[in-house]
Amino acid sequence: MVKLFFVRSAHIIPGMENGIANLLGALSLAVMDRIEQGAREVVGRGGETPAALIVIGYGQGMTNDKLRRILGLSHSGTVRLVDRLVSDRLVERRPGKDGREVALHLTASGAASRNELLASRISAVTSLLDVLSAAERKQLATLIHELLARQDTSEMDRFTICRMCDDRVCTKCPLPTSKGQHAR
């Protein structure tokens, strides 16, 4: 008789293997708690607002609609989010290439807040990581790198996962850029 596990979803590995999933879940929660607390202290806002500031800063061609898809918000939610960033003097709406589009640009203070945000995030994660030795961190980096590299992500998935990423330290993103074609 097979040992029955609760609701047997497609992805639940039977036996002790779920221990690792629980551990990663707990760690991820701790990491995100710290990142979000720091982000709120830096920009004074929560939700997807900090991520929006980072995403807009990746390039000067960001539009409302691309931002919406990356953040996973509704259209109106994104418009209101940008309204908040504009009223906080962090972002400017400029005319886009296409007459319909709005080109989102960081102001000087927006760029400064973005840098603080990225530094705060790295600091928050590092404060958890620094109990590991350099060798252990190297090992962990290799494993996470592989884990990310083997995901089946579209280009948009990648932007979503990387919406808080620090482009100053992440020069070569391990995530594949289009679904179905494995990077190896």
Partner DNA sequence: TTAAATATGTGCGTAGCGCACATATATGGT
Partner DNA sequence: ACCATATATGTGCGCTACGCACATATTTAA
Give residues 112-151 in contact with a copy of itself (rule: CB under 8 A): 115-116, 118-132, 134, 136-141, 143-148, 150-151
DSSP for 121-159, written as a single string: HHHHHHHHHTTS-HHHHHHHHHHHHHHHHTS---HHHHH
Q: Which residues contact 40 (CB under 8 A, 6 or more apart)?
A: 46, 50
Choose, by CB under 8 A, the member of 76, 99, 100, 169 that binds a copy of itself.
Answer: 169
Residue 37 site contact among a copy of itself, DNA, none (CB < 5 to 8 Å, cut-off depends on kind): a copy of itself
User: Rounded to the nearest whole angstrom, what is the least distance from the CB of residue 12 to DNA in the complex?
Assistant: 26
Q: Which candidate, 15, 29, 43, 100, places its Cα nearest to that of 66?
A: 100
Choice between 106 and 176, CB closer to DNA: 106
Q: Which of 12, 26, 33, 65 binds DNA (CB under 7 A)?
A: 65
Element (H, E) at 106: strand 102-106
- Does position 20 interact with a copy of itself (CB under 8 A)? The reply is yes
Whole-number Å distance between alpha carbons of 69 and 21: 28
Q: Which is nearer to a copy of itself, 103 or 122 (CB)?
A: 122
